[in-house]
Amino acid sequence: MMKGINTDVLVIGGGAGGMAAALSAAREKSDVILLERENSTGGVLNQCIHNGFGLHFYKEELTGPEFADKLFNEMTLDRVNIISESYVSEVDVENKTVRVLSPDGAYEIYAKAIVIATGARERPFGALMIPGDRPSGIYTAGLAQRFVNLENRLPGKRALILGSGDIGLIMARRLVLEGMKVEAVVERMPFPGGLLRNIVQCLEDYNIPLYLSHTVTKTVGRGRLEKVEVSEVDENYNPIPGTEKIYDVDTLILSAGLIPQVEDISDSLQLDRVNKGYAVSNSCETNIDGIYAAGNNVAVFDLVDYVAAEGWVAGRHAALKSKGGENNTEKYPVIRGKNVSILVPSYIDFNESLRLYLRISKPIEHGRVILKELNIEKKFVDGVPSEMIQMVLNKKKMELIREKGGLFVEVVEDE
């Protein structure tokens, strides 16, 4: 084991969340180390070569790699110490010590405050419990995207896409543009998982059919995938006998959702039951003093701008904490009411304004987000779970939360 290193702020993960955190901590004049397991920073942005990134954070429309480059260049100017090919295998949260595995060996870093920004991983094929053969030709959408956009390789010739999350929709268009035939996108839910703009721009514009309330019920192939069976499902997601349809495809792309990457690092950090990511306050602090989390390992955000904004907040508070300048003992719960699925933050402290992010649990034509304790309502129309709703409250408004002992968030459906 190599000797330990000391720093003020340590950031784990060099995606949008981690880079923004490192940059904002550096702007607070802290010594910052950022650790990234890959050989360069950027995270998922590196393979998202389409545009649509950065409209809020940079006030311009960028591709994923352009967004990542901007943050990287700023980090370099602000003297963030970026260490790539360094995998964090464990965080001792009480002693703020991380164990790092790198090509040069294993070593430890001790920090005064830590930001964990490890992103999300894709739900794998095994988790979907689809019967049939296990041939080659079955890929997650992110892996297929990596093949095509970073390695210049096509996954196959004819594809079917299971799941209508944004990555699957974007890959449907990408594969067609690269010369593959995309037979259809099938979605188990009665509504699409991805953003409306992606349904229009990635499927409708390319005549790719989307079958809602359908799923893959069998995979067939020796060596390589040859066929998949698709069936309609009832309201309990059970396949309806007699609705089976066979597609002759050599590629099945899975876009069945992202899961916050929270495994391995520590067992002491509390998770949110529904978000499945770290439970954090609006200062991005976890249940452990001086340990912060931001980005897709807290909840899967739809926009990189939200991830970067949260990273920024996490980095700033980590820097303040590293200088002994902040005490967050007082935390009030944010409680999920009806029709709310993803909800960030899980707690409120009064060191920071409140940025509330939520996803509704089903499509709602006319609805209202109600924050009863604050007498605040936000109306919306044509709400869908794929689109996050964001509400920002200043510190003055938040005082009422202290009086009421917490914040209850619910969504009501209007006629």
Ligand X SMILES: Cc1cc2nc3c(=O)[nH]c(=O)nc-3n(C[C@H](O)[C@H](O)[C@H](O)COP(=O)(O)OP(=O)(O)OC[C@H]3O[C@@H](n4cnc5c(N)ncnc54)[C@H](O)[C@@H]3O)c2cc1C
C-alpha count within 13 angstroms, C-beta hemisphere, residue 223: 0
Q: Identify residues 312-351 at the interface with ligand X (CB under 6 A).
A: none
Determine if 192 is a binding residue for ligand X (CB under 6 A): no
Please report how close the Cβ of residue 171 comes to ligand X at its closest, in angstroms.
7
Please report how close the Cβ of residue 128 comes to ligand X at its closest, in angstroms.
18
When binding is defined by CB under 6 A, the residue of 8, 11, 14, 162 that contacts ligand X is 14
Determine if 160 is a binding residue for ligand X (CB under 6 A): no
Determine if 16 is a binding residue for ligand X (CB under 6 A): yes
When binding is defined by CB under 6 A, the residue of 23, 45, 75, 161 that contacts ligand X is 45
Determine if 17 is a binding residue for ligand X (CB under 6 A): yes
**Rounded distance between C-alpha atoms, residue 363 and residue 233, angstroms:** 18
Calculate Rg over the CA atoms of the chain.
Answer: 22
Please report how close the Cβ of residue 358 comes to ligand X at its closest, in angstroms.
16
| CB closer to ligand X out of 37 and 368 | 37
Determine if 107 is a binding residue for ligand X (CB under 6 A): no
**Rounded distance between C-alpha atoms, residue 93 and residue 116, angstroms:** 11
Q: Which residues contact residue 238 at a Cβ distance below 8 angstroms, ignoring those fewer than 6 apart?
A: none
What single DSSP character describes residue 59? S
Please report how close the Cβ of residue 17 comes to ligand X at its closest, in angstroms.
3
Q: What are phi and psi of 25, to 5 degrees?
A: -65, -40
Determine if 37 is a binding residue for ligand X (CB under 6 A): yes
**Binding string to ligand X for residues 269 to 308, with x set by CB under 6 A, is what?**
--------------------------xx----x-xxx-x-
Q: Which of 113, 107, 104 is nearest to 5 (CA)?
A: 107
Determine if 239 is a binding residue for ligand X (CB under 6 A): no
Please report how close the Cβ of residue 305 comes to ligand X at its closest, in angstroms.
6
Show the CA angle centred on residue 289, arms to residues 286 and 292, nearest 5°: 40
Q: Identify residues 114-133 at the interface with ligand X (CB under 6 A).
A: 117-120
DSSP 254-319: E---EEE--SSS-SSS-B-TTT-SB--BTT-B-SSTTEEE-STTTS--S-HHHHHHHHHHHHHHHH
| CB closer to ligand X out of 135 and 257 | 257
Please report how close the Cβ of residue 45 comes to ligand X at its closest, in angstroms.
5
| CB closer to ligand X out of 300 and 401 | 300
C-alpha count within 13 angstroms, C-beta hemisphere, residue 271: 16
C-alpha count within 13 angstroms, C-beta hemisphere, residue 250: 9
**Edge-to-edge, what's the strand order for the sheet holding 210-212?**
138-140, 251-254, 158-162, 181-187, 210-212
When binding is defined by CB under 6 A, the residue of 10, 11, 25, 48 that contacts ligand X is 48
Q: Which residues contact residue 149 at a Cβ distance below 8 angstroms, ignoring those fewer than 6 apart?
A: 47, 48, 49, 174
Stretch that binds ligand X, among 29-37, 313-321, 348-356, 379-387 (CB under 6 A): 29-37
* Residue found by looking up tokens 């004049």 in the block: 29
Stretch that binds ligand X, among 69-77, 113-121, 319-327, 353-361 (CB under 6 A): 113-121
Please report how close the Cβ of residue 220 comes to ligand X at its closest, in angstroms.
28
When binding is defined by CB under 6 A, the residue of 8, 166, 250, 272 that contacts ligand X is 166
Tokens standing for residue 62:
């960028």
Determine if 53 is a binding residue for ligand X (CB under 6 A): yes
Determine if 62 is a binding residue for ligand X (CB under 6 A): no
Please report how close the Cβ of residue 312 comes to ligand X at its closest, in angstroms.
12
**Rounded distance between C-alpha atoms, residue 244 and residue 288, angstroms:** 51
Contact residues toward ligand X (CB under 6 A) are 12-18, 35-38, 43-45, 48, 52-53, 87-88, 117-120, 145, 166-167, 170, 261, 295-296, 301, 303-305, 307
